[in-house]
Amino acid sequence: MGLVAQQRGRYQEASDWLERALALAPHDADTLNSLAESYCSQGRIPLACQCLQRVAELLPRSAEARNRLGKVQERLRDWAAAEAAYRAALALEPDSPGLYRSLAGLQYQQGVYREAVATCRRVLTLDPNHSETFTLLGNAFTDLGNWASAVEAHRQALALTPKSAYAVFGLGYFFERKGDLDSAAESYRTVARIDPQFADAPLQLGIVHILRGELGEAEECFQRALVLLPDSAEARSFLGLIHLTQGRFAEGWSEYEERRNTPQFLREGREFSQPLWKGEPLDGARILLHAEQGLGDTLHFVRYVPMVAARGGRVVLEVPHRLRRLLALTSGAEEVISRGEALPQFDWQCPLLSLPGAFATDLHSIPARLPYVFPQPAQAEAWRHRLSENTARIGLTWAGSPLHPYDAWRSIPLEALAPLTKLEGATVYSLQMGAPAAALKQPGSGTQGGMVDLQDEQQDFADAAAIVANLDLVVSVDTSIAHLAGAMGKPVWILLSKAADWRWMLERETSPWYPTARLFRQSAPGDWQAVVARVETELRKWLAGARAG
DSSP letters for 344-366? ---SEEEEGGGHHHHTT--TTS-
Q: What is the pLDDT of residue 31?
A: 95
Task: List Cβ neighbours of 93 (8 Å cut-off, separation of 6 or more).
Answer: 63, 99
Starting from the edge strand earliest in sequence, which strands make up the sheet with 286-290, in order? Answer: 333-338, 314-319, 286-290, 348-351
With a cut of 70, say whether residue 443 has pLDDT above it: no
Q: What is the pLDDT of residue 449?
A: 59
With a cut of 80, say whether residue 548 has pLDDT above it: no
Say how far apart CA 363 and CA 505 lie, in whole Å. 11
Strands 452-453 and 426-430, bridge-based pairing: parallel
How would you class 146 by CB atoms within 10 Å of its CB: exposed for 0-12, middle for 13-18, buried for 19 or more?
A: middle
Q: For 386-403, write each residue's pLDDT tens digit.
A: 987 778 999 999 998 877
Mean pLDDT of 246-268: 88
Q: Report cis status (omega within 30 of 0) of the bond before 367.
A: no
How is domain 377-548 classified at the architecture level of CATH?
3-Layer(aba) Sandwich (3.40)
- Radius of gyration, CA atoms only, the chain: 27
For residue 22, how many other CB atoms are within 10 A of its CB? Answer: 18
Closest C-alpha among 227, 263, 229, 258 to residue 242: 258
Mean pLDDT of 527-538: 96
CA distances from 158 to 132, 138, 141, 194, 451 (A): 10, 11, 16, 14, 48
Q: How confident is the model at residue 447 (pLDDT cuts 50, 70, 90)?
A: low
Q: What is the pLDDT of residue 549?
A: 65
Query: Domain spans of the chain?
Result: 271-358, 377-548
Q: How confident is the model at residue 211 (pLDDT cuts 50, 70, 90)?
A: very high
Say how far apart CA 460 and CA 433 lie, in whole Å. 9
Q: For 462-509, write each residue's pLDDT tens digit.
A: 999 999 999 999 999 999 999 999 999 999 999 999 989 999 999 999
Q: For 333-370, write each residue's pLDDT tens digit.
A: 999 999 989 999 999 999 999 999 999 999 999 999 99
CB 324 within 8 A of CB 337: yes
Q: What is the pLDDT of residue 547?
A: 73
164: amino acid identity, one letter: S
State the CATH class of domain 271-358: alpha beta
Three-state secondary structure readout of 120-132: HHHHHHHCCCCHH
357: amino acid identity, one letter: G
Q: What is the pLDDT of residue 405?
A: 75
Q: What is the pLDDT of residue 307?
A: 97
Q: For 55-88, write each residue's pLDDT tens digit.
A: 999 999 999 999 999 999 998 888 899 999 999 9
187: amino acid identity, one letter: S
DSSP letters for 156-221? HHHHH-TT-HHHHHHHHHHHHHHT-HHHHHHHHHHHHHH-TT-THHHHHHHHHHHHTT-HHHHHHH
DSSP letters for 419-474? GGSS-TTEEEEE---SGGGGGGGSTTSS-TTTSEE-GGG-SSHHHHHHHHTT-SEE
Mean pLDDT of 122-142: 96
**Which DSSP letter does residue 395 get?**
E
Least confident of 16-20, 361-365, 420-424, 502-506: 420-424
Mean pLDDT of 311-318: 97
Per DSSP, what are the bridge partners of residue 521?
Answer: 496
CA distances from 198 to 189, 205, 237 (A): 11, 12, 19
Q: What is the pLDDT of residue 91?
A: 96
